[in-house]
């Protein structure tokens, strides 16, 4: 039994190393979240595209909405994490994560959805590694290709076609902002039928996009 466990651990380690190395060049064949989308909605709308084919508007919109310090932090936003920890201590459970785009990429590419401390710990490890191995452009590309952006809809290209009938590179500033604002809860929010809160967030993201400089 002990020998079997040792071999299993070794296989898992080697598989992870290969997955991380290949991730520099390729998008994930499928993720746990995407599998969940297939099971729940009976579909997987996804179209991987290159970083250059995404266009600048959607990159700026998502960074403005999710992680404005993306290009300057080391994968972790310490101030956001401190706020999240204080909030979670009051609630007695994990309700906020303070997650950066790098952390969300680690979660969506390698892990599963959930709020356990164990998954959060793995997320920290993967985030540290991809920051060192992949770099910012690859992380952002994998994030924008794999993130859930609607019910069974994954990635900016599929979302652009689903919501606006066009490619991501052709999105206007306003359209890109609409896609970005659904990210906190893509199963609930809908740019085609926005709530007052979503309209307010959209206007805020539009303003913040003016401050984003792509590297």
pLDDT in tens, 115-126: 788 888 889 999
Cα(83)–Cα(26) distance, integer angstroms: 35
pLDDT computed for residue 126 by the predictor? 93
How far is 158 from 181, CA to CA, in rounded Å? Answer: 16
What are the residue boundaries of the structural domains of the chain, listed by start?
Answer: 2-209
- What predicted TM-score, i.e. pTM, was given to this entire model? 0.87
Tell how strand 148-150 and strand 45-46 pair up: unpaired
- Topology of the domain comprising 2-209: Penicillin binding protein transpeptidase fold (1.10.3810)
- Give the residue with greater pLDDT, 129 vs 83: 129
Is the predicted pLDDT of residue 78 greater than 90, yes or no?
Answer: no
Position 9 pLDDT exceeds 80: no
pLDDT in tens, 65-74: 999 999 999 9
CB distance 30 to 154 below 8 Å:
no
Tell me: pLDDT of 60 over 90.
Answer: yes
pLDDT reading at 176 higher than 50:
yes
What is the chain's alpha carbon radius of gyration, rounded to the nearest angstrom?
A: 18
**Is the Cα torsion angle 42, 45, 46, 47 positive or negative in sign?**
positive
């Amino acid at each position: 039994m002990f020998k079997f466990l040792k071999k299993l651990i070794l296989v898992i380690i080697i598989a992870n190393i290969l997955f991380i190395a290949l991730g520099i060049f390729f998008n994930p064949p499928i993720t746990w979240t995407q599998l969940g989308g297939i099971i729940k909605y009976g579909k997987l709308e996804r179209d991987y595209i290159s970083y250059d084919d995404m266009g600048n508007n959607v990159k700026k919109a998502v960074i403005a909405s999710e992680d404005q310090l993306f290009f300057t932090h080391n994968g972790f936003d310490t101030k956001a994490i401190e706020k999240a920890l204080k909030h979670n201590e009051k609630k007695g459970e994990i309700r906020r994560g303070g997650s950066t785009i790098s952390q969300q990429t680690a979660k969506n590419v390698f892990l599963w959805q959930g709020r356990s401390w164990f998954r959060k710990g793995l997320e920290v490890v993967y985030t540290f590694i991809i920051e060192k191995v992949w770099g910012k452009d690859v992380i952002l590309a994998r994030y924008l290709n794999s993130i859930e952006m609607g019910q069974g809809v994954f990635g900016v290209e599929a979302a652009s076609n689903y919501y606006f009938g066009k490619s991501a590179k052709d999105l206007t500033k306003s359209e890109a902002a609409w896609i970005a604002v659904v990210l906190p809860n893509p199963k609930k929010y809908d740019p085609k039928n926005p709530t007052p809160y979503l309209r307010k967030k959209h206007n805020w993201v539009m303003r913040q996009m003016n401050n984003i400089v792509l590297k």
